[in-house]
Structure 1
């Protein structure tokens, strides 16, 4: 019996990608609509390409206090990026509203009560998937490489590239099992996580080849400051460890008992934001098929 295919989409990753790609796009009356257009055009493409049995989209709502306590500068550079956050957030709200109308499940902690980031919700879904399911993660975030397994692959939409157990090491220089140790050594500039001084990609690869794990290397080359950095970085990067340190009592997922698409309201939003192409039968077909 074929396994059920679940697409788990990194919603904020797709949101930001769409926002920047179509930043100048506006409705006829001047409302920003580029992020909305790009998001749903991409989503339509994913549905058409893979014809999944289920789709779940995860969204972010701020940093985890757990990680901020470990590293006050965590993701600090993002505060200085020139982005029209009001436009971005307003379009994010519209996108979630349209997902409701299309009856597509999504995870969003509006009040940040779980202390989880979007990445953590996505990891939770993957780590708790059923044995009868296979998963494709949609994201360009390399942190998710640690989740790759027999039934878990990653599609990077920016490169149109599928990452799996067979090619992860070739593409990134480390296997899925080595992801946390490797990134803990070299750091992650996208999250402002500094690595262990003196260890770059080449040396990190040599360490893993010779010792197998970062812990075994540190046992032989014990330096207190390096051990402290490694332990901190693992806590910041390891998505499995985070789930243990910050247990989730309830997943804030929006589900829909009624599987009927709200066509009238969806059309009204499309008209408001000048998204005429979204009202065609061709565009709507993959969304209808998902619910059938």
Structure 2
């Protein structure tokens, strides 16, 4: 099914398949629209926060089990934005098992899947359960977000009918540019070659940046991503409240990052940086951060 964006697609699915007051599970820290669309539709936001284990984020399956008992639907971000995890098949099988046990609808946002690094392996959730609804788009991987070209894969006919009714209410219509771009992204061999080069460069860029943080700014904790172009950085050692940290970054460092607060309570000390740019730009950003951090007192 065509959708005019992944977030609109997720919103229309939640609107179609749940009622006001129904529980929807998310795993914070997660892309802010996950929070916003659930509360905006007056559904109950049920958070099963990810855990930090040995410098890596993992799912908390006990928390997930608890929240799914009260839920109608689960929004999975796979690969995860902002922490960069590519969930293993074993982890995803546990998600499917819990959803089946508690009769929860599984919806997977897989927009970053095409940007999985060569060293990793993405498992599409609908390979593990035929009832999974998948929402995705070529917009991240092929840099065509402005075309609003995305799609929903919904195998269940009854659910698909209800989603279509909501989409019709909101006048969701494809454009010839969007359709053409989706087809080209997924069928043109040149696009495939370009994507292979891109993911290799992104993995190299991520490794370079995390190594520099570990060597030159170890006070700021980073998490090596496994997909995409986003780095999640913990500024807790700076001991600044979010607004003070934002002011320092903007006015002194001259870096404009994505503040972590909107990603969830556990993101309050974090900033998200987009490293999908040239090495020269990254080096300049790191230089500014290092120069201004040298004079700060870390806790």
Coarse TM-score class (shorter-chain normalised): under 0.3
Greater share of strand: 2
Task: Provide TM-score, normalisation by structure 1.
Answer: 0.25
Greater share of helix: 1
Structure with bigger RCO (C-alpha 8 Å, 6+ apart): 1
Task: Provide TM-score, normalisation by structure 2.
Answer: 0.25
